[in-house]
A = this chain, B = another copy of it.
């Protein structure tokens, strides 16, 4: 099943959609991942693995393992060079103090892969609202704001009422009791009183970064 003949990478995707193939590594065998890397190497293509576990990475042949630019906490791996930055910052990442760093970093790493610089504004949970209010001018006029929040996920609602740009919420699975798994944060974001907020799956920092890239294609560089 993981023989080379079965690998069907989509090398035309950048031309068609503007974003190269990215491959969800979780659930794939090391043999399958190796075949993908072989195929991409043969084509001289670059691509992004998401959610590559340290154990999966360790199992790869040494030359592939060394070729990957990997970050173990957030788990995206670059095969090939990321695009260079060609614009000033357009995407602030805002996170409450309780947000897990891995989700925030998955957003950052994905945006950097696609050549988009980022600004991180963390530890601004709404239980201490003045921390957010002190910082809001820094990003009020940016075109896309990504907000990472777990538990009650009140942060995107407050931000959505303060800024004009697109707001993308990433609910996280932190917490215990009814917060466990992230459904409370997801539902809080979906029912936000701030109009025009959109949401990704729980812990899907990669998806939020791609959504931002879809938007930024139509926006002039900063």
Contacts and interface: CB of A to CB of B under 8 A. Distances in A.
Interface of A: 1-2, 6-8, 10, 13, 16-19, 22-24, 26-29, 32, 51, 73, 96-98, 100-101, 104-105, 120, 122-129, 131, 133, 143, 151-154, 157-158, 160-168, 171, 173-204, 206-215, 217-220
A187 B153 CA distance: 11
A215 B122 contact: no
Contact of A186 (B17, B126, B178): B178
Identical chains in the assembly:
8
Contact of A152 (B131, B192, B208): B192
A1 B109 CA distance: 13
A210 B161 CA distance: 12
A153 B29 contact: no
14 contacts: A1-B105, A6-B122, A17-B162, A126-B126, A127-B158, A129-B129, A152-B188, A152-B191, A178-B183, A187-B187, A187-B188, A190-B201, A196-B211, A219-B219
